[in-house]
Structure 1
């Protein structure tokens, strides 16, 4: 071969594009590890975003949670107010209850003669004040509404009992006896209804964190009314 041919072959060899050297095993491993880590991180971000988007409370749920919290706080205030009202109402009704126990037939002595018109008028005023105390009730949680409604119903029943007794005073003979018997049964029903409200009120006070609140009226064993438990007043035992 001539010198010119050899020179052309050398130039062609020099100008031929060189193939990149294959990556070393260690470099390739690092690249794969970085790629895997990046893919995992990206997947975690995407998955986390999806989970957050799915589980994040909606505006409606957030509003509902806020309303529930406000309702619970409002109910605790209503429970305290209702308990104070029940105690005041019990104080008003005790003289009525004691007077009717003397005036109506039952386990104790019946003494209509010992009751004056002035006494009956005081009973009527006390019963009317008890009924008025529960006028225009606020709306609360179901358990609180049950307690309030039961106590209010009992107050109305006591007022009806006094009205029946007042009517019986103007009667004579069998009609008077029947009216007095009716008043006695109304009094027993009023006591039973009050005991239901007092029991419900005790329960909601415990749930609200105020402890036992026993706002019961005195009853005799034969009247069948619910009675307070033995837990101390203010105790948080269920």
Structure 2
């Protein structure tokens, strides 16, 4: 004799049990996979830090450009006063010239004072540029000191100033390269904020156009 078919009531019970089980299972999966309040807070902090770092990169790039424009005349003056190649004789430099260089260098140092805390790569770029600025200020002071000396002592101190200038430009090239890299990562593209430089070891900008996003 054939088995009796399930009644409508029994079928409804089966469907209800299935749906209820699916809902419970889905709810359990949601509860297990739902980010915790701590995870959501961490994600929010990371997003805020990324946005803040992008702002810092933009501001640092503009600061670097302003500083470069301020320091180029200083370096050009030092190049005339202390030709690195030793071929041309030193140009006539007045105390007013030296004071102007010192003011420009000191202003550049102050512009990098009290830096904000950012991501590691941005901090590295900022530190490289700030260190270079301080070295340029020291170069001006060393050269100013040499002007009050005579004989071999003056020659030795002037040579020290020449080396300090070379180290400053090299350090700036490191910071500028790091700045270029963080700009690319931030989506701003290449930003070549380099000082005029020549010599062994000095990093120079690549051939990519300004703003190009290719690394």
TM-score by length of 1: 0.83
Kept after mapping to 2: 8 A contact 1:105/1:180 = no
Q: Give the secondary structure class of the aligned counterpart of 1:170.
A: coil
When structure 1 is superposed on structure 2, of 25-34 and 177-186 the one drifting more is 25-34
Q: Which residue of 2 aligns with 1:78?
A: 56
Structure 1 residues not aligned, in runs of 5+: 1-21
User: Within 2, Cα distance between the matches of 1:144 and 1:46?
Assistant: 48
Kept after mapping to 2: 8 A contact 1:78/1:140 = yes
CA-to-aligned-CA distance 1:35-78 (integer Å, 9 cap, x gap): 66555434432322222112111111111111111111111111
Q: Give the secondary structure class of the aligned counterpart of 2:5.
A: helix
Q: How does 1:6-85 map onto structure 2 within 5 Å?
A: 25=3, 27-28=5-6, 38-85=16-63
Per the TM alignment, residue 124 of structure 1 is displaced from its structure 2 partner at its CA by: 0.4
Per the TM alignment, residue 111 of structure 1 is displaced from its structure 2 partner at its CA by: 3.7
User: Within 1, Cα distance between the matches of 2:28 and 2:60?
Assistant: 48
Per the TM alignment, residue 206 of structure 1 is displaced from its structure 2 partner at its CA by: 1.1
User: Within 1, Cα distance between the matches of 2:87 and 2:67?
Assistant: 26
When structure 1 is superposed on structure 2, of 139-148 and 154-163 the one drifting more is 139-148
User: Within 1, Cα distance between the matches of 2:188 and 2:52?
Assistant: 14
Q: Which residue of 2 aligns with 1:89?
A: 67
Distance 1:26 1:232, change over 3 A: farther
Per the TM alignment, residue 202 of structure 1 is displaced from its structure 2 partner at its CA by: 0.8
Q: Which residue of 1 aligns with 2:105?
A: 127
Q: How does 1:130-169 map onto structure 2 within 5 Å?
A: 130-169=108-147
User: Within 1, Cα distance between the matches of 2:86 and 2:205?
Assistant: 23
Q: Give the secondary structure class of the aligned counterpart of 2:210.
A: coil
Q: How does 1:196-207 map onto structure 2 within 5 Å?
A: 196-207=174-185
Kept after mapping to 1: 8 A contact 2:109/2:134 = yes
User: Within 2, Cα distance between the matches of 1:102 and 1:140?
Assistant: 38
TM-score by length of 2: 0.91
Count of matched residue pairs: 215
RMSD: 2.2
Structure 2 residues not aligned, in runs of 5+: none
Kept after mapping to 1: 8 A contact 2:80/2:91 = no
Distance 1:109 1:120, change over 3 A: farther
Q: Which residue of 2 aligns with 1:18?
A: none
CA-to-aligned-CA distance 1:134-166 (integer Å, 9 cap, x gap): 111111111111111111111000000000111
Kept after mapping to 2: 8 A contact 1:104/1:110 = no
Per the TM alignment, residue 126 of structure 1 is displaced from its structure 2 partner at its CA by: 0.7
Distance 1:118 1:110, change over 3 A: farther
When structure 1 is superposed on structure 2, of 207-216 and 107-116 the one drifting more is 107-116
